Amino acid sequence: MDRLSALAGPPFDVAIVGGGIIGSGIARDAALRGLRVALLERADYGGGTTAGSTRLIHGGLRYLEMLDFALVRMDLTERETLLRIAPHLVKPLEFLLPFYNRGWLERSRLKAGLMLYDLLSGRHRKMPGHRMYSAAQTLRIEPALCRTGLQGAAGYWDAQVDSPERLAIENVLDARAHGAVTMNYAEVVRAASPTGPLDGLVVRDALHGAERELRARVIVNAAGPWFEGVARRLVPAAARGRIRTTKGIHLAADPLARRAVVLFSHTDGRLFFVIPWLGYSWIGTTDTDYAGDPADARATPDDARYLLHAASAFFPALAPDALHWSNAGVRSLVMRPGSESSVSRLHRIETDETRGLVSVLGGKITGYRAIAEQATAAVCRLLRHSAPCTTAERPLPGAAAGNNPPLASATFDAQVVRAVRHEQCVRLSDFFLRRTTLGFARDQGESHISEAVSVIQRELGWSAARADSEAAAYRRWIAGTRAFRIR
């Protein structure tokens, strides 16, 4: 069967390239505004940078330091919105920022920063403001912290999303429920017409190789760190150097702390986190320039050594054998004109009216809904379509199902079947890493591989060879996450 046949027919109002959190959010917003939407994702939804993130829904104290007030304000507003529309995925999380050997002036600066953070959170925030702890209180809360030089700590609240991959998928599911055609493993290879307005795309089925054309009145480039490659596929003369790409990694370690702990590396002063996540301490992240294909980004032994060194200075019990596996993601940061070194996390939306192209540069998961709202508004302006955005009020589909115990306790087979039949799960890794969080268990889902493969094989009619190659590909993925090992 030709998977791409759903792309044929009359023009879509908008075709979105990239099914990360931002493209999925745009697909949902546009479908809810009554537009005819196509969403195209070369791999699986949420499997790009969205899966490589620290998984925080936060304004970001670090960005206050960079005086990025607009970003912090927007993200703190969006944090409250996500707690409201996705309470099954986004949860409040308490942070602890310990002070070590800091002068009075520095501590006052941090305290002022936290007061500003409370203020920017607005009057309607759901979570309490910051508070200060003595050294003794800090050690009672987190006994594994290093005692030498500890002066006390500040506590404050932000939020966490266990599975931003699932957040992306729920946006896709709601977009589909409102008429969008969404397709994973569908890669945009070029514009249908090499010159003039962008009135269509050539799409390749990444699983079977077939190509098809689709027609669309507006195209959105939401390809995250692949942005520039996609921009050139759409318009060969597209300007280069519009984004800067940097790699960040995380390590899943034995649990060290109950709260999220904010620390500063002794090597270079960079802020990093030790966060409770699915029974681990999730340690990260790094920030190094990266020029390769984002799909190939991995944690290297040097990356892991940097984080181990940084974290063990504060958690002396942390040893290399407590590190289980890693992940890596590539940020796409807007290159501001005139300042090559600018690394602001603030996104930018660009509209090319002549070609009918909307481009999304940069962004965070935290602000994805607002970014999608702005991008969809730009699409609506090009189409002269007027309809309000409703995504800030409308809960995501799982918000109701998340509180439904029978669904949560569905048998393993039933979960696989549901993922395949209703959630566009077409590969083994889709199930383990993005439809569920089983791939993040201590054995990374290894003990369930044959059971899951046999259900998907039955559902999708895989040959024995295809089933074997899916299992082998997933095992290779597991091995890749463990390849950072420090000897």
Per-residue buried b or exposed e for 58-74, using 16+ beta carbons within 10 Å of the residue's own CB: bbbbebbeeebeebbeb
DSSP letter assigned to residue 259: S
Q: Report the residue number, 303 or 470, with the smaller CB distance to ligand FAD.
A: 303
Q: Which residues contact 301 (CB under 8 A, 6 or more apart)?
A: 484, 485, 486, 487
| 289 vs 216: CA distance, rounded Å | 35
Q: Report the residue number, 47 or 155, with the smaller CB distance to ligand FAD.
A: 47
Q: Report the residue number, 130 or 364, with the smaller CB distance to ligand FAD.
A: 364
User: Concatenated DSSP letters for 282-326?
Assistant: EEE---EE--S-GGG----HHHHHHHHHHHHTT-TT--GGGEEEE
| 16 vs 230: CA distance, rounded Å | 11
Q: Report the residue number, 77 or 457, with the smaller CB distance to ligand FAD.
A: 77
Closest among 205, 217, 163, 198 to 51, alpha carbons compared: 163
**What is the smallest separation between the CB atom of 370 and ligand FAD, expressed in angstroms?**
12
Angstrom distances, CA of residue 193 to CA of 7, 228, 375: 17, 19, 24
Tokens describing residue 340: 């090559």
Closest among 246, 416, 231 to 332, alpha carbons compared: 246
Q: Are 367 and 347 in contact (CB under 8 A)?
A: yes
The reply to whether 379 sits near ligand FAD by the rule CB under 6 A is: no
Give the per-residue contact string, 333-372, with ligand FAD (x = CB under 6 A; - = no): ------------------------------xxxx------
The reply to whether 221 sits near ligand FAD by the rule CB under 6 A is: no
The reply to whether 423 sits near ligand FAD by the rule CB under 6 A is: no
Chain position whose Cβ is nearest to ligand FAD: 20
The reply to whether 225 sits near ligand FAD by the rule CB under 6 A is: yes
| Polymer length of the chain | 487
Among 66-74, 129-137, 308-316, 324-332, the segment contacting ligand FAD (CB under 6 A): 324-332
The reply to whether 88 sits near ligand FAD by the rule CB under 6 A is: no
DSSP letter assigned to residue 344: -
Q: Report the residue number, 217 or 250, with the smaller CB distance to ligand FAD.
A: 250
The reply to whether 200 sits near ligand FAD by the rule CB under 6 A is: no
The residues in 8-37 that bind ligand FAD, with binding defined as CB under 6 A, are 17-23
User: Can you tell me which of 3, 33, 36, 42 binds ligand FAD, judged by CB under 6 A?
Assistant: 42
Closest among 9, 33, 92, 103 to 57, alpha carbons compared: 92
Q: Are 358 and 259 in contact (CB under 8 A)?
A: no
Number of Cβ within 10 Å of residue 136's Cβ equals 9
Q: How many residues bind ligand FAD (CB under 6 A)?
A: 37
Give the per-residue contact string, 229-258, with ligand FAD (x = CB under 6 A; - = no): -x-----------------x----------
The reply to whether 48 sits near ligand FAD by the rule CB under 6 A is: yes
**What is the smallest separation between the CB atom of 171 and ligand FAD, expressed in angstroms?**
10
Q: Report the residue number, 100 or 277, with the smaller CB distance to ligand FAD.
A: 277
Q: Report the residue number, 248 or 445, with the smaller CB distance to ligand FAD.
A: 248
Binding site for ligand FAD (CB under 6 A): 17-23, 40-43, 47-50, 52-56, 187-188, 222-226, 230, 248, 285, 329-331, 363-366
